[in-house]
Amino acid sequence: MVKIRAFRAIENHSLCDKFIEGHKRVLEAVGVTKVTSSKYDWMYNPGSFVILVETDDGGRVLGGARLQAADGIHPLPLEEAAGYMDDKIYDLVKQYRTGGTGEVCGLWNSMEVAGMGIGSIFLIRSALAISEQLGLDSMMALCSPYTTRIAGNYGFLVEPSVGIDGTFYYPKLDLLATVVIQKNAHALPNASALEYERIMDLRKRPIQVTLEQGKKQEVEIDYDLTLPSASTSEFKITGE
């Protein structure tokens, strides 16, 4: 069994430290040392939420992701990563943040659970599940080619108005990253039937223990996706 929990970053810095250390090890293993989502100032941003995967005894962190809500003050990681290459990124975020938008970022999993679907299934699923508690109308991500294909299962579409048909060279010149958007995070159009069903169930029952089908095997997951301090109106940016 593994545990997946969500929390607002400013409310648990000790777990943020565990997330950071695990993410750093994974990035360094593939030769990446400079990624905007790996900066640590997000720990002090009230709009930053963490989804952490741990062993059932809480002894080891196995993976994680962040959902950063756009608040009109702190730039989203994709703005910091690609805005200097194409300033239309800023217009894109501004366009969507009136209704509430956010970015799934900093997604990683340890080699210990490679192939289980921790990063490619359960973390993205959990991020979309908690987006409802935050009142986000849309969700964005900056994805590798592999993750771009996976994001399609959740109804994310490539945004061709930025970069070269949505694509940038990032985090280094021999790697590609693509901007994708789920334009209706509530109804999840274009998501697969399975993902739609599971996300809606997690929204209704954010605390549950269930047997999930991973990429290669079944995984028992103890979910706690409750965000007691969340508000569905907190990230609605008006007056723009």
| CATH label of the domain that carries residue 163 | 3.40.630.30
For residue 37, what are its two tokens?
A: 């989502």
In a domain, 103, yes or no: yes
In a domain, 115, yes or no: yes
Q: What are the pLDDT digits (tens) for 218-227?
A: 889 999 999 9
Q: What is the pLDDT of residue 114?
A: 65
Q: What are the pLDDT digits (tens) for 48-75?
A: 999 999 988 877 888 999 999 999 999 9
Number of domains in the chain: 1
Q: What is the pLDDT of residue 115?
A: 63
In a domain, 43, yes or no: yes
In a domain, 236, yes or no: no
Q: For 68, left (φ over 0), alpha (ψ -120 to 50), or beta?
A: beta
Query: DSSP strand E in the chain: where?
Result: 2-8, 48-55, 61-69, 101-109, 138-143, 157-158, 167-169, 176-182, 207-213, 218-224
Question: 238 phi and psi, to 5 degrees?
Answer: -105, 165
Domain housing 98: 2-224
224 within 8 A of 123, measured Cβ to Cβ: no
In a domain, 126, yes or no: yes
pTM of the model: 0.91
Using the predicted structure, report yes or no on whether residue 41 has a pLDDT greater than 60.
yes
In a domain, 85, yes or no: yes
In a domain, 232, yes or no: no
Q: What are the pLDDT digits (tens) for 160-209?
A: 999 999 998 776 666 789 999 999 999 999 999 999 999 999 999 999 99
In a domain, 130, yes or no: yes
Q: What is the pLDDT of residue 30?
A: 63
For residue 66, what are its two tokens?
A: 């962040």
